[in-house]
Structure 1
């Protein structure tokens, strides 16, 4: 897939037509991914680039928190120093602002297409607990079933809570355990009981099932949306 470098605004040839070519190729690649119902990682990448554009447009600076984990603090500081020098150059900054003005609405339009796909998949995803949910629900199992539901993907999940002065964030990690072909004799409840017998470390696990009513790519769409649905559900339980 065509990707856009983190510092695409400043690296390489600082020319409007060149940057326009880079941007349009990237956005077309994103649209192609959405056309195949693949949301991730392109959707989160788009959000990162769009937010950074808005930060540059409004504050004329880059914001480290808007970048994904693949850029280190040291790399970012180097990038910020380069950008500060560019800001001091009125002619160069004018070119960058021209690029930003061109790019912002196109990012927004493409993001809207991604959001529509996200909402479409989410609307066709049934999410529910399996059995009684214990008081502790930051760790347990996630059952994932894609359409037409002949197999169940079993994941163990762990939700981590991060807090700062203003907000509380929840991140989720999942690990695929097994793929199970379910039949009439193996319900979600029976599968949960089987997992409890096999793993004594989780004697009373919170367990949830996400069932897709439409066929979508598991890794690029179904699993990420199911994980977000799980975090939202657990957040409501903790409220």
Structure 2
């Protein structure tokens, strides 16, 4: 997929029709992924660009606080210089305001389309603890099952806490282990027992099943939403 640069609206010739074409081409690709129920990384990329132009419009002084992983110092400086030019150049200011106003509206609509898919998937996920949970539930396994088949993806997870803007947030790191087939004999409980027996690094793990009847793409949609939902589930249980 063709990507927008972080400062796409401020680069090159600043012309409304040109930037409009660039944006609509980008959003067309995003919508093609959404039509196929593929959310990531497209949704997070789109949200970044939306927040970026909104922050510029509101003249956020410290853009790096909002986009530390995306914008370089040179790009931040470029945006600041451009904003100063806007104040001095009424024609340029109007052109940029038109570009940003149009872009923000179109992006917001597309984000809403992606959010609807996200919420639909989230509402159709069922998270269930397998067996008795240990006191420490920050590390363990989860089993992801989708559709009507018995194939179950087994993942190891670990939660961590990081601080941003003086607030604490939970992050989850996962690693894929293997695909297992459930049956009358090989239940979730049996899979858990086999993991404990064969993987000595977690002798008493927290284990969860995450199930959905949806047959959506796993890597692009089900897994990212399952991970976020598990973080929320564990956070609520720990509160």
In structure 2, distance between residues paired with 1:85 and 1:3: 24
For 1:1-239, list aligned pairs within 5 A.
1-59=1-59, 61=61, 63-67=63-67, 69=69, 71=70, 76-89=72-85, 90=89, 91-163=91-163, 166-239=166-239
Give deviations 1:68-100, integer Å, cap 9, x for gaps: 73x3xxx62111221222222224333221100
Q: Secondary structure at the match of 1:220?
A: helix
Confirm or deny: 8 A CA contact 1:196 1:204 kept in the other structure.
yes
Q: 5+ unaligned residues in a row in structure 2: which ranges?
A: none
Query: How far apart are the structure 1 equivalents of 2:74 and 2:2?
Result: 25
Q: Residue 9 of structure 2: SS of its match in structure 1?
A: coil
SS state of the match for residue 194, structure 2?
helix
Deviation at 1:209, TM superposition (A): 1.0
TM-superposed deviation, 1:225: 0.4
| More moved, 82-91 vs 26-35 | 82-91
Tell me if structure 2 keeps the 8 A contact 1:129–1:208.
yes
* Aligned mates of 2:111, 2:62 — CA distance in 1: 20
What CA deviation, in whole Å up to 9, does each residue of 1:95-147 have, x standing for no partner? Answer: 22110011111111111101100011112211111111111111110111111
Q: Equivalents in 2 of 1:187, 1:112: separation in Å?
A: 38
- TM-score normalised per structure 1: 0.93
Q: TM-score, normalised by structure 2?
A: 0.93
- Structure 1: gaps (5+ residues): none
1:61: how far off? 4.9
Please give the alpha-carbon distance, in whole angstroms, between the structure 2 residues aligned to 1:34 and 1:158: 29
CA distance in structure 2 between the partners assigned to 1:61 and 1:94 by the alignment: 20
Aligned 8 A contact 2:134 2:206 in 1: yes
- The answer to which of 214-223 and 44-53 deviates more is 44-53
Alpha-carbon spacing, 1:79–1:176, altered in 2? closer, same or farther (3 Å):
same
